[in-house]
Amino acid sequence: MLSISGYVPVYLTRDEERIYNGELGWVFEKAMRVVVKIGNIMGADRLVPIDHAHISGVGYANIGEAGLSLLRDLYSGGARFSVYTTANPGSVDEYSASYFSYGDRFISGQKEILEIFRGMGVRAFTCTPYYYREPRAGEILAWAESNAVLMANSIYGARSNRESGLLALFEAIIGRTYRGGLIRSENRVPQIVFRIEARPRNIVEYGVAGLIVGEISGDRIPYIDGISFKRHEDIKAFLAAAGSSGGMGMILIEGVSLEARGIGGRIDIKSLETISIEDKDLRRVSEDLECGDVDAALIGCPHASQEIVEELARMISERGVRASKPVWIFTSPHVYEDLARRGVVDTLTSKGVKIFTGICGVISPLNSLGYRCIATPSAKAAFYLPKLAGVRFIYMDLPEIVEKMFK
């Protein structure tokens, strides 16, 4: 490719040039051209193979008829994934459509999107692809779900830019990403520091701490000092919330992130802007937003882990209570299968809990079904429910959900 006045575009191998020039058809050409264009904008020097692509923007509520029409064109044009690919959940599937009856057009549109993605080669619909196929340190990904990108970069030590859904789809088709942004070591360094003086007590407060970090950081990579997590679910809640209010793809956490080790030898941390978060900050964030008269409780944004579902089942069993209002758990198909094998699904459903697998309750028109106020322990859900589902929320940790939503 030509170099114009010092500008060095992405280098392409002969095979990549053939794709770029349309020798494998218009779908591959389009995918390659988009990835190269973004690579040029990001200052990438070449393309690199990816081990796993993860696509977002699967919900009919997100992409609508225009997105569906583009997917139809790509699929009929031969779009198939050339690498291991997973995708975010949609709003409903064949098993949940009678419960979440969003209307014939919505449901048939959503089902068609899922069918097209399955036809292209999606292995699973989940927003926790790191439970489905755990990323290895150093491997290259093209992931588009913010909580997943943050987990991959910050916890597993893998490398992914925070892609848009469409870009991840094109990267899944050509099996490559551009070597720029968070793929390169020199860009994986902190730009702002947070000293966490607060002591979060539960996943609600870990999530609220994440919302604050995300909002203040914007696109900058934070370094987090002073936070301790009791369990995996706390980290997940913190990162998912930070990725909702912020635009970063990585957070370096002292004592947790592989790449936070020895960071002081590489970066002058003291020269960075430093923000303290105290207990009073965690309690202040949601006060004006919360609703009172709860219609339903939503657990599983991001998709619930085995750990949290089992914890809920244990609490309900110990108290001998039954759901007095709708209580929904959203989880991934493989987590659901494990829970079903061990009898946890039966325990919960016999107590009136609804467990949905492979769908998302947040990016869904819940207001069209008459829901107005949703209780949730998830700060990410709280961030999106008013914007995307048209409902208000109230924070409730699991013990409070058991206390208030069961009798």
Binding site for ligand F3S (CB under 6 A): 88-89, 127, 147, 301-303, 330, 360, 362-363, 380, 384
Phi-psi group of 304: left, alpha or beta (phi > 0 → left; psi -120 to 50 → alpha; rest → beta): beta
CB 206, min distance to ligand F3S, A:
15
Q: 285 or 363, CB closer to ligand F3S?
A: 363
CB 328, min distance to ligand F3S, A:
11
CB 213, min distance to ligand F3S, A:
17
CB 67, min distance to ligand F3S, A:
16
Report d(CA 161, CA 87) in Å as an integer: 16
Cis peptide, bond prior to residue 302, ω within 30 of zero: yes
CB 286, min distance to ligand F3S, A:
17
Q: 54 or 159, CB closer to ligand F3S?
A: 54
CB contact set of 364 (below 8 Å; sequence gap of 6+): 59, 61, 91, 92, 100, 102, 388, 389
Exposed/middle/buried for 390, CB within 10 Å: 0-12, 13-18, 19+?
middle
CA-based max dimension of the chain = 74
Comparing CA positions, the residue from 312, 400, 386, 306 lying closest to residue 351 is: 312
Q: 162 or 380, CB closer to ligand F3S?
A: 380
Length of the chain: 407
Q: 296 or 363, CB closer to ligand F3S?
A: 363
Report d(CA 382, CA 287) in Å as an integer: 12
Q: 20 or 130, CB closer to ligand F3S?
A: 130
Q: What is the DSSP letter of 326?
A: -
Q: 20 or 238, CB closer to ligand F3S?
A: 238
**Buried b vs exposed e over 90-112: b needs ≥16 C-beta within 10 Å?**
bbbbeebbeebebeeebbebbbe
CB 319, min distance to ligand F3S, A:
27
Report d(CA 323, CA 343) in Å as an integer: 18
**Buried b vs exposed e over 286-312: b needs ≥16 C-beta within 10 Å?**
beeeebeebbbbbbbbbbbbbebbbbb
CB 151, min distance to ligand F3S, A:
11
Q: 179 or 380, CB closer to ligand F3S?
A: 380
Report d(CA 206, CA 203) in Å as an integer: 5
State how far Cα 40 lies from the chain centre: 26
CB 244, min distance to ligand F3S, A:
8
CB 234, min distance to ligand F3S, A:
16
The pairing of beta strand 176-178 with beta strand 47-49: antiparallel
Q: Which amino acid is at 193?
A: V
**Strand, helix or coil for residue 1:** coil
Q: Is the dihedral of CA 282, 249, 145, 62 positive or negative?
A: positive
| Joined tokens for residue 41 | 């904008």
Q: 156 or 383, CB closer to ligand F3S?
A: 383
Q: 28 or 356, CB closer to ligand F3S?
A: 356
Q: 124 or 360, CB closer to ligand F3S?
A: 360
CB 359, min distance to ligand F3S, A:
8
